[in-house]
Every structure is written in C-alpha cells, then in structure tokens.
Structure 1
Amino acid sequence: MAAVKNIFVVGLNDFNRQRLETLHGAEGCRFHGVIAPELVYDTEEFDIAAMLSEATAQLEAFEGSIDAIVGYMDFPVSTMLPILCERFDVRSTSLSSLLKCEHKYWSRRVQREVIPDHIPGFTAFDPFDDEAMTRIGEAGLYFPFFVKPIKSSGSRLGFRIDTPEDFYQAIAQLRESIGTIADPFNTVLEQAQLPPEIAAVDGHFCMAEEIIGGWQCTVEGYVFEGKVVSYGIVDSLRYPQVLSFFHYRYPSGLPEDIQTTMVELTDRIMTHIGYDNAAFNIEYFWDEVQGRIWLLEINTRISQSHCDLFEKVDGVSNQQVTIDLGLGRRPDMPHREGEFPVAAKFFHRVFFTDAVVTRVPTDAELAELVTDFPGCHVAVQVEEGQRLSSLPEQDAYSFALAHVYLGASSVEQLLADFDRLVARLAFEFDDVQG
C-alpha cells in the first residue's frame, strides 16, 4: 500500500478542505492546515515574519513526512510559499521567479524584454514624493492613467486618474494605507537577491500605467518541469460603466485566434521568467477596436474564484493543479467532463459609499435556492450589524454582499438564473450613504 502523502495548505479552511478531498488521488493524501485561515483571509494586517516563524515551527514539529506545501491565495500566502518550500525541500518555483511576477515594476520590465507590444507604458513613483506627478509626466505618461501599488491585493488602492485632483486624492489614500501591504512585502523582498534597479523600488512605491482595457479574461496555467501548459481561459465581465466585477465566466467566449495568441504569449513570458513547477494565472485584455492584446498582470497561483467553475465545466477544481505540482506530479486536469457546459461566479454588489447591514438571507432561504437552482452555491460576505466599510478586500466603487456560483446549459440561461436567484436574496440596510 502506497504511503499517505502529507500536504500542508497555508490558510486551509473547511470549505476548501471539502473541495480538496474530492480531487483525483485525494484518497492517498492527508491535508493539514498551516497558519490559521483568519490570519490570511479576514484581515488586512499581515505580519509575514511572524507567520513564517509560526509555519516553520508547525512544520518542524510534524513527525511524519512533509510531501508538499501549497496555497491557493494571493498575498501574503503566495509570497511565503517559495520561502517555506525551500526550507523544507519540497517543490515550488524560486522566490526570484515569483517576484518577477508579483513585484509589478519588476514584472513589467521583464515583460518588456519579450512581449513589448503587449504591455502599456509604465513608470514607478514614490507616493511620498511631492514631485511625483511631475516625474510621471517626465516618464511620458499623461492623463488619463492608472495608479496602483507595486504590490497590491485584489483591487485595493487602484485608481483611474483623469485630473490632478484625482491624483492628489489617490495619493492621500495611498500614503495612509499602502503600508499595510508594503511593510510585509518588504519583509519578503529582504529574502531575495534583487537587481539594484529593482531593490531601489520597494513595496512603498507605486506604478503609473497607460490605461488599457477591452474584454478581460484570465489564462489559467502551470509550468511543470519547464513546460508551460494553459488549460483554460475564464472571462471577467464588469458591471456597465464601473470597474467592479460582475462575474467570472467559463469557458471563454473570446474568438479562437485571440485565445491562441494569449496562450502563445503566456508560454513566452513564463518561460522567460524561469517560473517552474507551480501554478499561475495571467490576466489579459483584448481591445477589439485597436486589435491589441494587453497583458494586465501575472498571479502566482490558481484563481480560487475559478475553482467552482472548473469543477462544474471540466469535472474537477483547478486545485488539482496545485496539489499535483506540489507533489511533483504532472497535473491530472480533465477537460469538459463536468455537469454544465458553462459556469460563473457572480458578485452581488451594492454601490453605496457605506451602510450598516441589518438583515442577511437566512440558512433556510439559502437552502431553498440550492433546491431551486441545482449546483448553485451562495457565499454571503456580510453579517448583520456589520458596517460595509469594514469589509476587507473591496474595490473603490462598491461592496460585494454575496458570491453566487451557478452552472447552466447556456450563457443566456446563466444570466437569467442569476437574475431570478438574486431577486430572492433579501439583504436590508440602515444608515445608507450615497
């Protein structure tokens, strides 16, 4: 009988443990949590040095074999994994290759070396420099442009800048809040060998970039022993007139030739970076009017938001990729073997400045929805009595009240089902602001 594989998952929660236990080969694995999920999920305070110490102590105290250390979340989990994997001699990509994806300035410089026609104009700047706007102009960027931190999480602290007033408002917010990610990210940068021009641009810096846009999508893939494999493209669709995401939909509706080009670009950039033995996803825009494909950013993990979509359409969550790679195996990812031809994760949002939640759907109401919409899952994101502005990881324009996962026979059916379902989600508010 084969020995049980001990897989340590950073930030493991019950929801993902259940999903992991349905993966191919999971019966031969035992999943262990490392670092409590609330320390990486429901907070914006990340003491990476303390978390690394805690994880190291947990792993050193384990008496069995340590066969894989994995995660499926963005910062801070993604940046800790190469450090922990190197300490315990298990599979992962190198820290430097990961930072060439996650340090946005370094990533753009590396991308420019091999796919210069597919990235926007960009420059780094210090938000604490009173001459920052002048320096951005000297770098050849003019209104409108987009501003974001060198390392961000989700859509936090990203701003479209149309006027000087927009810029100074953004700078005020950045100065106040950038340290929550910059400080822990700098802890990671200290562990890496950085070129001098990158070392000079630490986590407190920001990026200014030309505005790019179009049809947004994500190429999900991995690199195994030097070979880049892209196994699915998921569309990211926004609410009209705003930057907030409406839903992620799989499979992509993009033209086949555009999908093929994105896969070729993905192969080129991930090979150039030297990324290996790990999952990734790359966000792109297809600007149909200009006939341009733009690379938006590279994430060094599977997209957790896409797990249910791959399960519904292909037959297994893309967490399969993470686990197989962690164990040094070629991923066993099926294709179109799921229950539904199309699936989506919807974001049910309110576009308030702020409010207090006074009612959320009951467990009985949610159970009725599962009965009436087979395969659906509703993950409520708020609690009674909660002020919306206290929610972590929100964009600058709205608040997500619930994540709604649905499968359907067609895109039209998917959208119709969402409309019918969301009409039955009874949220109520008090002290509503704007």
Structure 2
Amino acid sequence: MMEPGGAPVREAERPRVLVLCPSRWDKVALGERFDRRYTLLYDGEELVESPTLWAGLRFDVFRWVDQMADTWGGEGLAGVVGTGDYPGCMLASLVGERLGLPVSPARTVVRFSHKYYSRLIQRQLVPEATPDFAPFNPFARVPKDWRYPRFIKPVKGTMSIRAQLVHDPRELRQAVRFSLVERVRKHLLLRPFQHLLCRYTDGEVPAWHFIGEEPLEGVQVTVDGFVEGGRGVVMGIVDSVMYPGTISFQRFEMPSHLPSGVQERMRRVAVKLMEGSGFNHACFNIEMFYDAGRDRVSVIEVNPRMSYQFSDLYERVSGMNTYEAQLALAVGQPVPWKEGGGRDGAAASFVLRRFSDARVERVPSAEELERVQQHFPGTVVQVLCAPGERLSHHDQDVGSYRYGIINMGAPNQEELFARYAEVERMLPFGFI
C-alpha cells in the first residue's frame, strides 16, 4: 500500500473503504495510521451515538441497508467494515452483500451474533469444545426440571451485562427480574436484531431470550484471527485476567501464558469452527476457557468481528496492527500477516474499575494525558466517563463500573506492570 521509498499512496489510488457505525476508538486508531493508505469514509455514527434512533419504532433495518447501498453504491467503494458488536459488524455484512464487496455472509454473522444460534454452529463443528446449553424465556416460568448451577446470559448482550452464575430458582428469578420500563427498552433496542433473526434463522429463539449453560471454568483467553479466501488464520491468543473473585475483566494480556500445546489446540478449534461456518473476508475473536483439571478447551462465545481494543497490542508484540488485517480483507487484498517482530515483549489492555457506583468528580485533563504520552509514547488512554455523570449511567457488567482503559507495552511483564502503575498514578480520577 506504499509507493517505492515509503511515500503515501496518492489519493486517487487509495482504496475507498466505508466504515459503518464507527466508535471513537475506530476513528482515532484508523485516522492515526491508515488515512494516508486508504480513503476512509464514515457513516452510521448516529446509530452508535444515539441508540434511540436504532430503537425507534419507525426504524427499519432493511430500509436503512437499502439507503446505504443507494448512497454509496456509485462511490467506487473497494470495501466496507464494521468493528462494533451491535450493530456495526452485522450492518457491514448486509451492506457489503448488497454492493458485491468482500464481506462475510450476513447469515453467518447474524447467527454468530446470537448466543443460541452460535452454539448450534459450535455443536455441529466443534462438539468437544461446546458446553451443554438451552435457551429460555426470561419472562416466563422456567421448567422445574432445569438443572443447576447454570451460567445464564442474554442471547444478545454486551460487556457481560446480566451474565451470571445461578444456583437455584430463586437466584434465577432475581437475575432476570426486569421492570416494565426495562422490558420495553430491551424489546425496542433488540427490535432490529429480531427482524434480522426472522430473515436469517428459524426465529424460534427471539432476541430478548436468554441462554443457560453448563458452567465453565479455568483460564480465560481470547483467540484472535481472520478468514481469508476460506482459510482461517489465528493471529494470537490474549489472556483475559479477572479481578480476584469476580467475573469483571482486570486486564487483557499478551502473549498468553498458557502452555504451547494448549494454545495449539485452541488454534485448531478456532480454525475448524470459523472455516466450517462459512465465515470469510473478516477478522474474528473467540473467547475460550482452558480447564486444566479436566484438560478441556471450551468455547465461551464467538464474536464475528475484530477485537478493536486489542489492535495495538498485536502491533506491539507481533508487529502488525489488526486494523491493517481487517482493511486488507475488506478490499480483497492478501493479509501480510506474520507472527513476531513487534517492539515489545509484553503488552496489555488494563481496565480501570470501581466496585461501587459513584458520581464522577474529575477526569484527567488534556495536559495530564499529554504527559503520559511524553513519558510512555504510544500509550492508549480511553476515558469512559465525564464529570457530573454517575458511572451507572453507562452500560456496565454485573457488580462493577468501568471508567477507563489503558493500553501499553514493555520489554517484559515485570516492566509492563511497573509502567502501568506509574501511568495510573499520572491519571487522577475523582469520584464522590
């Protein structure tokens, strides 16, 4: 994508890529690295910034796709991408199919985006890595012969919201207790997804249902990769480390500390699953457990999109930013992927959390953020709150509240933790 001598590609020769429903992370990461190699075009921000538009009774997901195809069909697009879980990656597949661009089949992306239909795919292709599971309606009585304990979660959810282990019917009822306002909001937010389910599945398990599963345990990781021309490639494995005694993520660290033989088994499961499903032309990430006591690898869930939060971690350790892989796939060009070659021996995405709600009194200033950059160049800091807000005003998982993310690297793990501790001291947050 560079001319001889390393000069940027001339604008007229840059592939034009439409980025649908971009997040703030997307715009910063893409703008800093790729806007001289691609002509990046953005649309659908309003669906991310104002979810009420997506949830409106007048919003028609298929009419929106038609409008996007009409708007962009004559603009010489080479590709379309969406890195967001809901609705970005699904809408990118729908629009890409309409425009004849290299995207993963919408049917596959929609099914992987629904935890029950995703489990059906997993059970067919990798049964040895698929736990026992069953869907249920949270607004109806669960059968009396339901077995406990069960790990329950919405079939369409994010950030582990409403996901938890239940040990008996009382805990189950408490876990799925919704107020009338919450019920209405849930149905409205998931209404467009329900319309997609009616087209691409049998529609028997609606978007607002839950799934109950055999509890899994062990070391949790994320397996990141892509499928190019029907061939699956695993880029790497990231350890998912929880705050002790919780299911809230403390950090995501690479390279993984799992034994090489276990990592190879995970790679084989990921490739077999993604190749067999028909997924193609896109990045994926699969959350997995390794239970050493049972020597078992299990799939937690499949995300049919790239891990944008880990994009710079891969660049630090492996030498290539995963946005680069996704953009190449989107325009039908070979992915120049090879492991190793990064400048750092260790990298992590640290999640700043509280375990009680609070009002935000202050966040780091622009000057304080700049001092972090001067001291540790390349560190990524995402502030997830603003003064005056309550942390609970943002989507949060069960029992904890995120307020920031820090991505950074170092020559080794010991130095990584030392640098992180220093950066955390340099970023004063205040809560009351």
Q: Which residue of 2 aligns with 1:179?
A: 187
Structure 1: gaps spanning 5 or more residues: none
Confirm or deny that 1:307 pairs with 2:311: yes
Change (3 A) 1:343 1:44: farther
8 A Cα contact 2:55 2:189, kept in partner = no
Equivalent-residue separation in structure 2 for 1:31 and 1:344 (angstroms): 28
Q: Which residue of 2 aligns with 1:245?
A: 249
Structure 2: gaps spanning 5 or more residues: 1-9
Q: Which residue of 2 aligns with 1:8?
A: 18
Aligned equivalent of 1:30, options 34, 39, 42: 39
Equivalent-residue separation in structure 1 for 2:257 and 2:307 (angstroms): 19
SS for the counterpart of 1:297 is strand
Equivalent-residue separation in structure 1 for 2:120 and 2:429 (angstroms): 45
Aligned equivalent of 1:89, options 87, 96, 100: 100
Residue identity in the other structure for 1:245: F
Equivalent-residue separation in structure 2 for 1:224 and 1:273 (angstroms): 13
Cα shift at 1:335: 2.8
8 A Cα contact 1:152 1:181, kept in partner = no
8 A Cα contact 1:157 1:173, kept in partner = no
Confirm or deny that 1:427 pairs with 2:432: no
Q: Which residue of 2 aligns with 1:191?
A: 199
8 A Cα contact 2:51 2:189, kept in partner = no
8 A Cα contact 1:72 1:322, kept in partner = no
Confirm or deny that 1:223 pairs with 2:223: no
Residue identity in the other structure for 2:195: T
Equivalent-residue separation in structure 1 for 2:122 and 2:76 (angstroms): 38
Equivalent pairs: percent with the same residue? 29
Confirm or deny that 1:359 pairs with 2:362: yes
Cα shift at 1:55: 5.7
Cα shift at 1:14: 6.1
Cα shift at 1:146: 1.0
8 A Cα contact 2:346 2:409, kept in partner = yes
Once the two structures are superposed, the pairs formed by residues 7-406 of structure 1 within 5 Å of their partners are 7-12=17-22, 15-21=25-31, 27-36=36-45, 38-40=46-48, 43=51, 46-47=54-55, 49-50=59-60, 53-54=63-64, 56-62=66-72, 63-129=74-140, 131-134=141-144, 137-138=145-146, 141-142=147-148, 144-173=149-178, 176-177=182-183, 178-192=186-200, 194-195=201-202, 199-352=203-356, 354-392=357-395, 394-406=396-408
Equivalent-residue separation in structure 2 for 1:341 and 1:266 (angstroms): 24
Residue identity in the other structure for 2:426: R
8 A Cα contact 2:311 2:321, kept in partner = yes
Equivalent-residue separation in structure 1 for 2:271 and 2:29 (angstroms): 29
CA-based RMSD of the aligned residues comes to 2.3
8 A Cα contact 1:359 1:428, kept in partner = yes
1:394-419 deviations in whole A, cap 9, x for unaligned? 11111111101111111121122222
Residue identity in the other structure for 2:15: K
8 A Cα contact 2:83 2:306, kept in partner = yes
Equivalent-residue separation in structure 2 for 1:414 and 1:174 (angstroms): 44
SS for the counterpart of 2:199 is coil
State which drifts further: 358-367 or 416-425: 416-425
Change (3 A) 1:52 1:319: farther
Residue identity in the other structure for 1:401: Y
SS for the counterpart of 1:396 is coil
Equivalent-residue separation in structure 1 for 2:337 and 2:29 (angstroms): 15
Equivalent-residue separation in structure 2 for 1:260 and 1:314 (angstroms): 17
Equivalent-residue separation in structure 1 for 2:350 and 2:61 (angstroms): 32
Change (3 A) 1:242 1:28: closer
Equivalent-residue separation in structure 2 for 1:414 and 1:158 (angstroms): 31
Equivalent-residue separation in structure 2 for 1:237 and 1:378 (angstroms): 19
State which drifts further: 368-377 or 78-87: 368-377
State which drifts further: 333-342 or 360-369: 333-342
SS for the counterpart of 2:344 is coil
Equivalent-residue separation in structure 1 for 2:53 and 2:390 (angstroms): 19
8 A Cα contact 1:19 1:317, kept in partner = no
1:234-255 deviations in whole A, cap 9, x for unaligned? 1111110011100111221111
Cα shift at 1:201: 1.0
Cα shift at 1:119: 1.7
8 A Cα contact 1:100 1:273, kept in partner = no
SS for the counterpart of 1:31 is strand
Equivalent-residue separation in structure 2 for 1:90 and 1:123 (angstroms): 36
8 A Cα contact 2:60 2:192, kept in partner = no
Cα shift at 1:41: 5.3
8 A Cα contact 2:89 2:304, kept in partner = yes
Equivalent-residue separation in structure 2 for 1:64 and 1:171 (angstroms): 46
Residue identity in the other structure for 1:108: R
Equivalent-residue separation in structure 2 for 1:44 and 1:298 (angstroms): 27
8 A Cα contact 2:391 2:402, kept in partner = no
Equivalent-residue separation in structure 2 for 1:377 and 1:150 (angstroms): 31
Equivalent-residue separation in structure 1 for 2:380 and 2:269 (angstroms): 34
SS for the counterpart of 1:365 is helix
Equivalent-residue separation in structure 2 for 1:290 and 1:236 (angstroms): 20
Cα shift at 1:52: 5.6
1:307-331 deviations in whole A, cap 9, x for unaligned? 1211222233201121111111221
8 A Cα contact 1:85 1:92, kept in partner = yes
1:110-142 deviations in whole A, cap 9, x for unaligned? 21123222221111111111x2152xx34xx32
